[in-house]
């Protein structure tokens, strides 16, 4: 057992303090804010990276379209039946597509060592990770929300619910990105974290799914959707307040190995 | 007493399969957790004792 | 203001095994401190503890006399840590990589500074090549460009000589000595034998 | 106060005090559960609507209570571990998770079985059962996450964070599932919500609930003790403790 330490600091400390007096000191910096600079740079960096690898941005969208194609084939092409299940199908498929891309949120940063550097920045880690999540939503959740109405047409989604579908998805996927990022941060240090990530995150997605799909259904039945959207907004506000701290704490755990 | 006889008690007014399966599974799980905890404890202490004895005899041989 | 990083009775246990125990350490300006020890003796863990990344340790850390918890932000503002992985994004050019690192500490900086830093590490002409197309040694040099680009008093370098050619090793070693002479401080682990210098101090683990 | 918290945090102290407490909780659990079972099964009157199938309530409700309470206890332990670095709290959290999952399973199973005479089907997407099912997934997530790490310290901290995130979400999940259920199944019959239960019906239920809680405490104490031995096997006090017992054994063999 290697338990003891040989010749720790006694060997040279006295002599080195003498040398320390001979040399001038490098001026120490005061930490002077710059949080906005750091957040902006992180946003720009992640956007640039993802836009250079367009495949990664497109894959969730293709997955979304593919899954939606499977349902009429598996169930029935009957427009009336499809119209009934369309809100739920669209929401579940979008949710899975958003989940699919989560695993890579911190993975490449972890692998190349820049996550370590992110944690050592003299800025609040919560704010920096929020920037990363924002980019994830901008390039996954938002495109999914914009694409959903097109797939809605293919599922014979009744008129009048398209705007609500896109809006509820845009609001909801933002919460999904935030909650999912906690799971991604917890599993980033694990070699095969992908499946585990879904297991951790999917139960937490249920409230968003209920009110998101509920909003579209309410729109179809001609009921008021403002309550649903308000709750989705409240969920987003709560996630915005709490998730960044959980993400930061999780990242610190993962970096410890 | 809600039942007139023991056989009536067992029959649970025709709901016997449901009542007894629910209670049975519960009892089984509770007992299983206790048994598992006991087995776990015994095994641990046994392992620790074996280790201590080995350490003891090693010390004895050295002397 | 002088610089002082102190560790008192530092101990690190990793899954029932003590990596080190009762370690007292004081690092001041004008020093190069080399942490030595065989593989698995906890060199990287020690550097991670000293750079505030690992919280799972016993003992106390002080930065300029203040407990690390309270001085953390000031400490991080004066720290430059380079780990095993260079932390270079393969999808970004060296210039873009450096720009992010500069911004992380709150400085926007300008392109001339970054170009100059890259030139100093011998990467002139590679400024706009995606870092993924550079060799491992060149990527390491991009990371090392941060030493001149973002001046920090305390350098914590984990195996900085990895993948660097002989010429680069000499340059880097000279840079470490110059930093210490200028009053900075270097904490380093390396398998490369550093030239003896009055500024160099060794600490062995394990 | 601080001294007390840290004393409580010392595994050795906890090992000693839990040895004294444990038998009391086991006795209370056994007494309460046996009394409650006899009373609930044989003496409580049958329900005027559901007949004797209603007796499932005496296992379903305590299990459901415990399932939720254990998750909260696990999250609180996680918080204590993260804030004060008290390792015993994490050991307790680690042994609570499987029991919580087992209780959730009991609640689900008894609920499903109860559904057959009540609704005529083995599974209903009833609000309570659906929340329970989600809770089971949350438990499985925590257990799986703890198991996935190679470093025990990281595993503990990750599981603590997940338990805390989960406990914040449980009320939200419960609320949204209730809301979803009323939307889709307006004014339907739920298993356990009933107006004014007579005393001889709810008293055994209270006894069973208390018994289950005592059982949970006793089992957690016992398994935390095992966990302490496992994790502190290299510590001096554990070796002394075991050595004291080892010395006795050869003496017995010699006779």
- Asked whether the predicted pLDDT for residue D195 surpasses 60, the reply is no
Average pLDDT over residues A98-104: 91
Confidence of residue D185 (pLDDT cuts 50, 70, 90): low
Rounded to an integer, the average pLDDT of A79-83 is: 91
In chain D, domain spans: 14-188+198-247
Give residue A8's pLDDT: 39
**Subunits adjacent to chain C (3 or more Cβ pairs under 8 Å):** A, D
- pLDDT (average), residues C157-172: 88
How many inter-chain contacts (B to D, CB under 8 Å) are there?
A: 99
Which range, C154-168, D60-74, D195-209, has the best average confidence (pLDDT)? Answer: D60-74
pLDDT > 70? residue A77: yes
Alpha helices (H) along chain A:
13-22, 35-52, 54-74, 79-100, 104-112, 114-120, 125-136, 142-154, 162-187, 194-220, 226-256
Q: What's the mean pLDDT in D224-253?
A: 76
D205, D151 contact by CB (below 8 A): no
**Residue B16 scores a pLDDT above 70:** yes
CB-nearest to B9 from D42, D99, D239 is D42
Q: B with C: 3 or more CB pairs under 8 Å?
A: no
- With touching defined as 3 or more inter-chain CB pairs under 8 Å, the answer for chains A and B is no
DSSP for D2-26?
A: HHHHHHHH-HHHHHHHHHHHHHHHH
Instruction: Give the mean pLDDT of chain C.
Output: 87
CB C69 within 8 A of CB C16: no
What domains lie within chain C, and their CATH numbers?
A: 1-78+152-206 (3.40.50.300), 89-151 (no CATH)
Q: Which helix (H) or strand (E) holds D156?
A: helix D152-184
> Is D161 in contact with A249 (Cβ distance < 8 A)?
yes
Which pLDDT belongs to residue D186?
47
* Contact in structure between C91 and A49 (CB atoms under 8 Å): yes
Percent of chain D surpassing pLDDT 70: 87
Give D247's pLDDT tier (boundaries 50, 70, 90).
Answer: low
Confidence at residue D181, expressed as pLDDT on a 0 to 100 scale: 83
Q: Model confidence over A4-59: pLDDT tens digits?
A: 333 333 333 334 444 444 445 667 777 767 888 999 999 999 999 999 988 888 99
pLDDT for residue D4:
65
Stretch among A17-31, A169-183, C33-47, D54-68 having the lowest mean pLDDT: A17-31
- Whether residue D161 has pLDDT greater than 90: yes
Among A169-173, C99-103, C109-113, C174-178, the range of highest mean pLDDT: A169-173
Q: Which residues of D touch A202 (CB under 8 A)?
A: 137
Lowest mean pLDDT among A126-135, C192-201, D145-154: C192-201
Best CA proximity match to D141, nearest among D42, D71, D79 = D71
pLDDT of residue C203: 84
Averaged confidence pLDDT in chain D: 87
- Indicate which of D242, D248, D250 best probes the interface with B, i.e. most B CBs within 10 Å of its own CB: D242
Q: Report pLDDT digits (tens) over D95-137.
A: 999 999 999 999 999 999 988 888 888 888 888 889 999 999 9
Rg (CA), chain C: 17
pLDDT score of D118: 83
Ranges A50-59, C115-124, D209-218, D242-251, most confident = D209-218
C112/C102 Cα distance (integer angstroms):
13
If you average pLDDT over residues A136-150, what whole number do you get? 95
Q: What pLDDT is attached to residue A257?
A: 62
- Greater model confidence, B59 or A68: A68
**Domains of chain A by residue range:** 34-256
Q: What is the pLDDT of residue C84?
A: 86
- Answer whether residue A2 shows pLDDT above 60: no
| Burial zone of A55 (CB within 10 Å; 0-12 exposed, 13-18 middle, 19+ buried) | exposed
Contact A200 D162 (CB under 8 A): yes
pLDDT of D251 reads: 43
pLDDT tens track for A154-190: 999 988 899 999 999 999 999 999 999 999 999 998 9
Mutate to test the interface with D, among A106, A125, A182, A186 (most CBs of D within 10 A): A186
d(CA D69, CA D63): 10
Mean pLDDT of B47-56: 84
Distances (CA, A) of D91 to D23, D78, D95, D147, D200: 20, 10, 6, 14, 40
Instruction: Give me the count of residues in chain B.
Output: 63
Place D254 in a pLDDT band, splitting at 50, 70 and 90.
very low
Mean per-residue pLDDT for A206-220?
A: 94
ipTM, two decimals, is 0.88
Contacts of C98 (CB under 8 A, 6+ apart): C114, C117, C118, C142, C145, C146, C149
Q: Which residues of A165-199 are buried (b: 16+ CB within 10 A; e: fewer)?
A: bbbbbbbbbbbbbbbbbbbbbbbbbbeebbebbbb
Q: What six digits make up the tokens of D250?
A: 């050869």
pTM of the predicted model as reported, rounded to 2 decimal places: 0.89
Q: Collect all residues of chain C within an 8 Å Cβ-Cβ radius of residue D233.
A: 16
Above 50 in pLDDT, residue C74?
yes
- Percent of chain A exceeding pLDDT 70 equals 89
Q: How high is the pLDDT of residue D252?
A: 43
Give the span between the Cα atoms of A9 and C50, in whole angstroms. 15
Separation between Cα atoms, residue A113 and residue B36, nearest integer Å: 43
The pLDDT of residue C71 is 87
């Amino acid at each position: 057992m290697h338990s003891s330490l040989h010749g720790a600091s006694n060997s040279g400390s006295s002599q080195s303090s003498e040398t320390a007096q001979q040399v001038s000191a490098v001026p120490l910096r005061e930490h002077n804010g710059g949080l906005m600079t750091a957040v902006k740079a992180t946003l720009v960096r992640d956007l640039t990276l993802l836009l250079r690898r367009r495949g990664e941005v497109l894959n969730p969208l293709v997955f979304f379209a593919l899954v939606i194609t499977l349902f009429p084939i598996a169930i029935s092409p009957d427009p009336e039946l499809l119209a009934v299940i369309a809100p739920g199908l669209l929401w579940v498929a979008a949710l899975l597509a958003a989940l699919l891309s989560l695993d890579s949120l911190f993975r490449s940063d972890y692998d190349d060592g820049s996550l370590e550097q992110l944690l050592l920045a003299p800025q609040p880690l919560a704010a920096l990770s929020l920037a990363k999540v924002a980019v994830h939503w901008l390039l996954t959740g938002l495109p999914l929300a914009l694409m959903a109405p097109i797939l809605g047409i293919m599922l014979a989604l009744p008129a009048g619910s398209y705007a609500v579908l896109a809006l509820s998805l845009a609001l909801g996927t933002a919460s999904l990105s935030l909650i999912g990022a906690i799971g991604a941060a917890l599993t980033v240090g694990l070699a095969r974290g992908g499946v585990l990530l879904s297991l951790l995150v999917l139960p937490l997605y249920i409230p968003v799914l209920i009110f998101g799909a509920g909003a579209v259904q309410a729109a179809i039945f001609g009921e008021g959707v403002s309550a649903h959207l308000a709750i989705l907004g409240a969920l987003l506000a709560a996630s915005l307040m709490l998730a960044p701290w959980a993400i930061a704490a999780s990242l610190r755990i993962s970096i410890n190995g | 007493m809600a039942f007139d006889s023991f056989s009536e008690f067992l029959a649970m007014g025709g709901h016997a399969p449901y009542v007894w399966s629910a209670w049975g599974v519960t009892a089984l799980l509770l007992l299983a957790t206790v048994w598992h905890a006991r087995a776990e404890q015994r095994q641990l202490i046994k392992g620790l004792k074996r280790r201590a004895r080995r350490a003891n005899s090693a010390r004895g041989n050295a002397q | 203001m002088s610089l002082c990083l102190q560790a008192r009775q530092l101990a690190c246990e990793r899954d029932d095994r003590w990596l080190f125990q009762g370690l007292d350490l004081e690092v001041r300006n004008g020093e190069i401190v080399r942490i030595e020890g065989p593989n698995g003796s906890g060199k990287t863990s020690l550097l991670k503890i000293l750079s505030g990344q690992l919280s799972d340790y016993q003992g106390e850390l002080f930065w300029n006399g203040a407990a690390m918890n309270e001085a953390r932000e000031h400490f991080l503002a004066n720290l430059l840590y380079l780990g095993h992985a260079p932390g270079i994004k393969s999808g970004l050019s060296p210039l873009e990589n450096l720009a992010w690192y500069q911004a992380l500490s709150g400085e926007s900086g300008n392109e001339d500074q970054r170009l100059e830093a890259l030139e100093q590490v011998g990467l002139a002409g590679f400024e706009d090549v995606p870092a993924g197309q550079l060799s491992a040694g060149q990527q390491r040099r991009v990371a090392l460009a941060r030493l001149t680009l973002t001046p920090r008093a305390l350098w914590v370098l984990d195996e900085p000589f990895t993948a660097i050619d002989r010429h680069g090793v000499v340059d880097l070693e000279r840079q470490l000595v110059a930093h210490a002479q200028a009053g900075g401080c270097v904490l380093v682990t390396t398998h490369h034998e550093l030239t003896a210098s009055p500024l160099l101090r060794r600490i062995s683990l394990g | 106060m601080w001294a007390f918290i840290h004393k409580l945090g010392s595994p050795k102290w906890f090992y000693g005090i839990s040895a004294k407490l444990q038998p009391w909780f086991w006795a209370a659990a056994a007494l309460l559960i046996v009394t409650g079972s006899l009373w609930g099964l044989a003496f409580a009157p049958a329900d005027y609507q559901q007949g004797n199938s209603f007796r499932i309530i005496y296992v379903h409700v305590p299990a459901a209570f415990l399932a939720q309470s254990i998750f909260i206890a696990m999250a609180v332990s996680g918080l204590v571990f993260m804030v004060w670095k008290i390792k015993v709290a994490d050991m307790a959290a680690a042994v609570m998770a499987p029991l919580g999952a087992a209780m959730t399973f009991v609640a689900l199973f008894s609920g499903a079985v109860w559904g057959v005479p009540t609704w005529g089907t083995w599974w209903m997407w009833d609000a309570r059962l659906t929340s329970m099912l989600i809770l089971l997934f949350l438990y499985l997530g925590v257990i799986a996450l703890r198991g996935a790490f190679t470093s025990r310290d990281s595993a503990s901290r990750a599981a603590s964070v997940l338990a805390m995130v989960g406990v914040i979400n449980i009320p939200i999940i419960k609320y949204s599932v209730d809301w979803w259920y009323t939307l889709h199944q307006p004014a339907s019959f739920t298993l356990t919500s009933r107006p004014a239960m007579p005393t001889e019906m709810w008293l055994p239920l209270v006894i069973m609930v208390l018994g289950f809680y005592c059982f949970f405490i006793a089992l957690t104490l016992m398994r935390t003790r095992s966990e302490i031995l496992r994790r502190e096997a290299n510590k001096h006090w554990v070796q002394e403790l075991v050595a004291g017992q080892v010395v006795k054994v050869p003496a017995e063999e010699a006779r």
